Amino acid sequence: MAETAAKKTDMTEENRPRLLLMDGHSLAYRAFFALPAENFTTATGQPTNAIYGFASMLANTLRDEAPTHFAVAFDVSRKTWRSDEFPEYKANRSKTPDEFKGQVELIGELLDAMHAPRFAVEGFEADDVIATLATQAEAAGFEVLIVTGDRDSFQLVTDHTTVLYPTKGVSELTRFTPEKVQEKYGLTPNQYPDFAALRGDPSDNLPGIPGVGEKTAAKWINQFGSFAELVERAEEVKGKAGQNFRDHLESVKLNRRLTEMVRDVELPKGVQDLAREPYDRTAVALVLDTLEIRNPSLRERLLAVDPGAAEEAAPAPAAGVELDFTVLGSGELAGWLDAHGTQPLGVATVDSWALGTGSVAEIALAAADGAAAWFDPAQLDEADERAWAAWIADPERPKVLHNAKGAMRVFPEHGWSVAGVAMDTALAAYLVKPGRRSFALDALSVEYLGRELAPAAAADGQLAFGAEDTAEAEALMSQARAVLDLGTAFEERLAEVGARELLHEVELPTSVLLARLERHGIAADRDHLEALEQQFAGAVQQAVKEAHASVGHEFNLGSPKQLQEVFFGELNLPKTKKTKTGYTTDADALAWLAGQTEHELPVIMLRHREQARLRSTVEGLIKTVAADGRIHTTFSQTVAATGRLSSTDPNLQNVPVRTDEGRAIRHGFVVGEGFEALMTADYSQIELRVMAHLSEDEGLIEAFASGEDLHTTVASQVFGVERSAVDAEMRRKIKAMSYGLAYGLSAFGLSQQLGIDPAEARGLMDTYFERFGGVRDYLRRVVDEARATGYTETMLGRRRYLPDLNSDNRQRREAAERMALNAPIQGTAADIVKVAMLDVDRALTEAGLASRMLLQVHDEIVLELAPGERDRVEALVRERMSQAVDLRAPLDVSVGVGQDWDSAAH
């Protein structure tokens, strides 16, 4: 004690250690309700809103308060010494939302990665742990800061202990000092538990005194000085309030015992053990990536308050990696390539691409021997230009790039072709861990190399800075070296997951083909699209007028609040699902209302939203028509975890295919100058054929082999009737169920889709499985195998990792089970389409044909036919697509030809 007192005496305000304590449960729960769960959810269905909000508050508070010591306390359960003494304690609290469950555990993983101590003591609340640590810390001479949403913590406030209380979600904190407590309640912090006992606390189910509010409670404490004195002199309290106090004296005494925080909880660590430590930055990045938290601002704020951040060397690439940085001037690139270009080189670029054209501003190269070079393509002399063009086009000179497709798309703008790409680190990362939402180079470098890169990658995956000085040029060279080293790291990991062949034989060749497709684009009839946009705009305005007329006044159709007032206030329509902002008016709710009421407004609103969506789609298409009159979409291989391609700028998968409006939009995609027609080719029922192949169900295979309409054939077997007796409703149900099984649809989901009772849907599925037992057995087997191995696999070996299959959270587990059912089927279909694209493209080249591929959308390939080549191309397409893989249910290819995308449908 003497030593501690001496230490405390020697301390000054400048050198006083500062302890920050956070109430983990309290803050996570506030964050959960401050941020909408639907906006913070991983691909597997895990909500992350509480985690995100907590991490944001954590980063801000560590930045603003700069503590030397830090810890977080959590509740273990609702069973504590308080609930033992008062069983009704917190008994009125509602059940913890399913979306919140599991998030506290994940917050703990983040804190562990940050090397931040966390406490959870059986039988005690987080408040008690915080009170114990605060008491110990102040005795040892610390300044103490407590972040919590529990007002009972105000009893801990002293001249050296401050409570930071959230007053606006998780974004604003109010500092409660002794003066602030006095100002707010007219009491000292020591008197706060006395006051709280009289006031009661509905959130903890502590009863108050009838007729006694905060003002009366504060007046009594000030009048008598303390709760103990008030109890001793209870008879002196006048009036009805005084009688109520005496009538409830025992419950108030209990309140006082429960409100007092315990300050001597036995803890595994003392305050001196809470000094902040450097993060495990790789582990932090891994936790954030796993939770798909990609917000760069949050990451930067968390990393900026890492106690080890100052020790990070910058801009050195990594410990043990030394680079010979060389900024090349005119006439120096050819010699550098002669010296270093025979070994594999990492390549990094600064480039731009928009509306079918682009340019490269900077290029950096790095070799494993430490050599690194940066150059400005505009400064190359003739010899440099020749040497560079020859090296980048040489298939014998291995290159490692991150997002190689971007380079292969833009380099031809300078007259360069790209060959010899031995590794694409973005594609490799995707195959190793396909569930990630981002494959940014900087995040991969931290995770796999333990190396931080600066500056951060731009949103399009390219490096977003100019080499205006040597430091920026060195940063780009460091990125090139990171790409090279990641390539080596991923070669090992690809082998571990059995995906090397998939990368080199499917994904890399596909990226080469996609780069060409993006450069080709597809011709657009701008006049037609503009006329369509006006048509949809008119339909939107007409729907607005009809909506106003239906209720007798104007209102904003885009305002959820006004819609709620109209639907459920003025019209008194049946209530839909309740959300935080009121009763929902989303599309599903409107469709339900349309079936529940004869009022025309729900139908009008559905039409308004559909026409508005179509107008937005067409507006987006018009904006992307390039100077060459063509639309150049961007394809991505790393967005869908199943392996399917996606497209952006514009998203051509957004164009409807089965509606009149969608066909009208497709009519605006036309054959280009110098070509004769467009050809479309796609697979018929590919997912169901894959399901038949994987399940080996003889009945389903025979249904395909019969050559008859699949859904009619299956319906006749399920319903036990002749094919001629299968009506449209029977066929509709079987079609919905067949595709639903391939996509992991539950009986409840099927009932919702078909508009039938869940019991009927379950009966339909049971009958289906009685006839097609192989499908039932396969669906069971694939989930069991995935649960055992942790992943599913396609025919070509593409894996989808699903750790949530063993989750204790039912919602997450069931979502993972649906993905396990879907991933092998949809993933195999996606692999087949890629193989078919490559085979068709190769055949066109080998045949010396001028016809070319333009698009791949879902399971459809769109080609532009050169004059006189239609028959040869059609025969080639049918042959190569039908033979892409060998399935037990043979692939069936449909082909159509026309002057526009719609006319070419089949």
Would you list the domain boundaries of the chain? 2-184+262-274, 331-521
What are the tokens at 375? Answer: 């150059």
Residue 715 near residue 734, CB atoms below 8 Å: yes
pLDDT value of position 44? 66
Q: Rounded mean pLDDT of 212-218? A: 73
pLDDT-above-70 percentage for the chain? 91
pLDDT-above-90 percentage for the chain? 53
The helix (H) or strand (E) run that includes residue 893 is strand 893-898
Burial of 713 (0-12, 13-18, 19+ CB in 10 A): buried
Q: What is the mean pLDDT of the chain?
A: 87
- Sign of torsion, CA 275 279 280 284? positive
| Half-sphere exposure at residue 503, Cβ-oriented, CA atoms within 13 angstroms | 25
Q: Three-state SS for 158?
A: coil
Distances (CA, A) of 413 to 19, 318, 697: 58, 34, 52
The helix (H) or strand (E) run that includes residue 896 is strand 893-898
DSSP string, 687-724: HHHHHHHHHT-HHHHHHHHT-S-HHHHHHHHHHTS-GG
User: In this structure, how many other beta carbons lie within 10 angstroms of the beta carbon of residue 101?
Assistant: 16
The helix (H) or strand (E) run that includes residue 33 is helix 24-34
pLDDT value of position 461? 38
Task: Provide the strand spans (E) within 36-159.
Answer: 69-73, 118-119, 143-147
pLDDT value of position 758? 86
pLDDT value of position 8? 41
**Could you give the CA distance from residue 825 to residue 690 in angstroms, rounded to a whole number?**
6
- Sign of torsion, CA 549 554 559 561? negative
**Could you give the CA distance from residue 734 to residue 739 in angstroms, rounded to a whole number?**
9
Fold of 331-521: Nucleotidyltransferase; domain 5 (3.30.420)
List, for residues 809-858, the tens digit of each pLDDT value.
677 788 888 889 889 999 999 999 999 999 999 999 999 999 999 999 98
Distances (CA, A) of 675 to 671, 845, 854: 6, 17, 12
Please state which of the ranges 126-140, 179-193, 330-344 shows the lowest mean pLDDT: 179-193
Distances (CA, A) of 465 to 346, 412, 446, 460, 472: 18, 22, 20, 13, 8
pLDDT over 80 at 29, yes or no: yes
Q: Strand pairing of 799-801 and 345-354?
A: unpaired
- Sign of torsion, CA 401 406 407 408? positive
C-alpha 723, offset from chain centre:
46
pLDDT over 50 at 30, yes or no: yes
List, for residues 706-729, the tens digit of each pLDDT value.
888 889 999 998 888 998 999 999
**Which distant-in-sequence residues (6+ apart) come within 8 Å of 184 by Cβ?**
176
Distances (CA, A) of 649 to 153, 157, 242, 398, 901: 52, 56, 72, 31, 18
pLDDT value of position 204? 66
C-alpha 29, offset from chain centre:
21
Top-level CATH class of 2-184+262-274? Answer: alpha beta
**pLDDT tier for residue 92 given thresholds of 50, 70 and 90:** low
List, for residues 105-138, the tens digit of each pLDDT value.
889 999 999 999 999 988 898 899 999 999 999 9
**Could you give the CA distance from residue 679 to residue 895 in angstroms, rounded to a whole number?**
7
**Could you give the CA distance from residue 517 to residue 635 in angstroms, rounded to a whole number?**
9
Q: Rounded mean pLDDT of 202-210? A: 68
Angle between helices 810-846 and 773-789 (to 10 degrees): 100
**Which distant-in-sequence residues (6+ apart) come within 8 Å of 313 by Cβ?**
319
More confident residue, 238 or 467: 238
Q: Which residue has the tokens 């993060």?
A: 279
Entry pTM: 0.70
pLDDT over 80 at 226, yes or no: no
Q: Please tell me what DSSP assigns to residue 456.
A: P
User: In this structure, how many other beta carbons lie within 10 angstroms of the beta carbon of residue 660?
Assistant: 7
Q: Strand pairing of 345-354 and 399-401?
A: parallel
pLDDT value of position 211? 67
Residue 127 near residue 152, CB atoms below 8 Å: yes
Phi, psi of 799, rounded to the nearest 5 degrees: -100, 150
Q: Rounded mean pLDDT of 673-691? A: 95
Phi, psi of 434, rounded to the nearest 5 degrees: -70, -15
pLDDT over 90 at 314, yes or no: no
**Which distant-in-sequence residues (6+ apart) come within 8 Å of 153 by Cβ?**
23, 127, 130, 131, 146, 163, 165, 261
Query: For residues 220-244, b (16+ Cβ closer than 10 Å) or e, as one string?
Result: bbeebeebeebbeeeeebeeebbeb
List, for residues 550-575, the tens digit of each pLDDT value.
999 999 998 888 999 999 999 999 99
Identical fold at 2-184+262-274 and 331-521? no
